[in-house]
Amino acid sequence: MATQSRAPAPIPPGAAITLASSTFAFTICFAVWMLFAVLGIPLKQQLGLNDTEFGLLAATPVLSGSLIRVPLGLWTDRFGGRIVFFVLMLATVIPIWLISYATTLWQLLVLGLFVGLAGGSFSVGTPYVARWFPRSRQGLAMGIFGAGNSGAALTKFVAPALILAAGTWTVVPRVYSVAMLVTALLFWVLSRSNPAHLVKSSVGWREQLAVMRDPRVWRYSQYYSVVFGGYVGLSLWMTKYYIGEYGFDIKTAAFLAACFSLPGGVLRAIGGWISDRYGAHRTTWWVMWVSWVGFFLLSYPQTDFIVQTTGGPQAFRIALTPTLFTILLFVVGIAFAIGKASVFKFISNDFTHNIGAVSGVVGLAGGLGGFVLPILFGMLADLTGIRSSCFMLMYGTVCVSLVWMHYSHRAERQRKAQAVGLTQAA
């Protein structure tokens, strides 16, 4: 007798509008989080910053947005994502506006810490959205929400246009401040809450954080520090890279940099679907291999050399054209988009009841990667004078992930085989 395929679990009322409003809110939050990726270009010239200082300025919002992720994840489990998300967005409105009045690096760094809180919204929205959907659809739901990463590309389109239209960078934070306020109000009106999604109040903070002793959390944190931390770091760095390496103006450079940021955000939903269908491990494994090849090619600096041949000296040049460079960066952006979703599929599979705490820890690791990398990019550029050294660093981090994935997966398969053997023997 033919077996009937099981129908997919139904989506509860309110889930779709909650997912849509949360994704829109996260897109605006991420656009704000990446604000200094473009704003830092005129500020670098105005304040006379070197590459390391530029990296610090661009990365400062990422630091606070990363550190706040763990408590935000815990608060989401305890109080609900709707209220935490709303209050978080309101808390950034005034600091964003005040950026337009800053005149020194220290003022920008302090305000950047407050503005960076918007980046913590990921650890609120991920568990908030996931709990509205059955497990078979959580990967896709979290991927759709994570597509809000495309806010990085939104900033690259909007901010340069605002600067050119107004003739000054100060208009950008004012427009973004108003946009954040409107987004917060729209989110509150459209989103929904479900008391059944809250963690029982009898569960203490220490019990929620006990999950950090699980080695899988640290493994997923390392993967996410590559796919998300690398995405954030390169999104902050690429506009400047295009200007320095190829001599483009800020508008063209930001547009080309968006070829990495846009697929790295929008295609995250596809990554969620792929992870649901083929599994988190297989998906993440291929993501790392594609990234490994891409960074190997991107790492090679523009090189001129002379070879002494039998017919005399011959000059050769090895360099990536802007077109080829952008294509490679686009491919890496797609890989990172899929990888960001597949890592969180690991989490939804393994940590169903405390997904907020785990997503906060893993999100913290990814955010810290996004904070450290632009600073390291700047330091390497200042020390070596080689702009492509940023890709050399990313190549090394991907190598670590591949080695760790190989040995950890082999150990897990051995444990499962032993468990099956014991069961059969019993």
Provide the number of structural domains found in the chain: 1
Average pLDDT over every residue of 227-235: 88
Please, what is the Cα angle at 224 between 288 and 334, to 5 degrees? 50
Quickly count: other Cβ atoms within 10 Å of residue 221's Cβ.
21
Angle between the 15-33 and 35-47 helix axes, to the nearest 10 degrees? 10
- Give yes or no for a contact between 74 and 212, defined as CB atoms under 8 angstroms apart: no
Identify whether 296 is part of a domain.
yes
Are 119 and 30 in contact by the 8 Å Cβ rule? The answer is yes
Torsions phi, psi for 171 (to 5 deg): -70, -25
Range of the domain at 53: 17-191+208-303+316-419
Is 49 within the bounds of a domain? yes
Assign 418 a pLDDT band (cuts: 50, 70, 90): low
Q: Please indicate whether residue 380 or residue 271 has the higher confidence score (pLDDT).
A: 380
Q: How far apart are CA 57 and CA 51, in angstroms?
A: 10
Say how far apart CA 418 and CA 92 lie, in whole Å.
52
Provide the pLDDT confidence category of residue 67 given band limits of 50, 70 and 90.
confident
Q: Which of 204-218, 247-261, 276-290 has the lowest mean pLDDT?
A: 204-218
For tokens 């709303």, the residue is: 86
| Better pLDDT: 178 or 73 | 178
Structure tokens belonging to residue 245: 């390496």
Note whether residue 198 is domain-resident. no
Q: From CA 124, how far away is CA 26, in angstroms rounded?
A: 10
Task: Give mean pLDDT, residues 152-173.
Answer: 89
CA angle 272, 260, 328 (to 5 degrees): 100
Tell which residue, 318, 283, 315, has the closest CA to residue 303. 318
Residue 133 lies in a domain: yes
d(C-alpha 160, C-alpha 306), whole Å: 41
Max intra-chain CA distance, the chain: 83
127 lies in a domain?
A: yes
Cα–Cα distance for residue pair 400/394, rounded to 1 Å = 10
**Alpha carbon distance 136, 273 (integer Å):** 10
Which pLDDT score is estimated for 127? 81
Q: Over the chain, what is the mean pLDDT? A: 83
The residue among 381, 149, 170 whose CA lies nearest residue 269 is: 149
One-letter identity of residue 64: S
- Asked if residue 202 is part of any domain, the answer here is no
144, 23 contact by CB (below 8 A): yes
Would you state the pLDDT for residue 3? 44
Query: Which among 86-95, 139-148, 269-278, 334-343 has the top mean pLDDT?
Result: 86-95
Residues 108-151: tens digit of each pLDDT: 999 999 999 998 888 888 888 888 887 777 777 877 887 787 88
The per-residue b/e assignment along 366-383, b for 16 or more CB within 10 angstroms, e otherwise, is: bbbbbbbbbbbbbbbbee
Asked if the structure places residue 424 within a domain, the reply is no
pLDDT of residue 178: 96
Which H or E run includes 309? strand 303-309
DSSP 104: S
Question: Is 140 inside a domain boundary?
Answer: yes
CATH code of 220's domain: 1.20.1250.20
Residues contacting residue 139 through CB under 8 Å, at least 6 positions apart: 272, 273, 275, 276, 341, 344, 345, 348
Sign of CA dihedral 398, 403, 409, 412: negative
Please tell me the predicted confidence (pLDDT) of residue 361. 80
**Is 211:74 a contact under the CB 8 Å cutoff?**
no
